[in-house]
Amino acid sequence: MLAKATGAGHRPIAAMLGRPPATVRGWLRRFATRAEDIRVVFTRLLHAVDPEADPLLPRGSGFADAVEALGRAAAAVVVRLSPGSPWEFASRASAGLLLAPCLQTAAEPW
């Protein structure tokens, strides 16, 4: 997600990760579809965990804004609660659904 937020396309990202391009393209599309919801949820979490956190600055795209919010929230949680990678945190915080295929239900948080 960070590579995409900084301008990389799905093929170079796939090569870097050793994953099929179609898989990475699907991940990026799902994240982009949910970017605004992801930004809102993780911005709220950031400020709940660290009420003194600096405001998030716009990064130039909804995708990049969502990555920034997720990363900042993850860093705040890791500092306060336990060590681990930001993406491990994101997976746990979204119950493993951050990059899951879209389900068209009203109850879906993403």
Per the CB < 8 A criterion, the answer to whether 110 and 98 are in contact is: yes
Q: Could you give the number of structural domains in the chain?
A: 1
Residue of 28, 34, 30 whose CA lies nearest to 12: 28
pTM above 0.75, yes or no: no
Residue 97 phi/psi, 5-degree rounding, is -100, 0
Determine the structural domain holding residue 75 and report its residue range: 34-93
Query: Residue 105 falls within a domain, yes or no?
Result: no
Residues 71-92: what's their mean pLDDT?
Answer: 79
The CA distance from 107 to 19, in Å, is 31
What is the pLDDT at residue 106? 47
Residue of 33, 46, 99 whose CA lies nearest to 57: 46
Query: Residue 8 falls within a domain, yes or no?
Result: no
- The token duo for 93 is 């915080």
Query: Residue 42 falls within a domain, yes or no?
Result: yes
| Percent of the chain's residues with pLDDT above 90 | 59
Query: Residue 78 falls within a domain, yes or no?
Result: yes
- Give the pLDDT confidence of 25-69 residue by residue, as tens digits: 999 999 999 999 999 999 999 999 999 999 999 988 999 999 999
- Give the pLDDT confidence of 15-30 residue by residue, as tens digits: 999 999 999 999 999 9
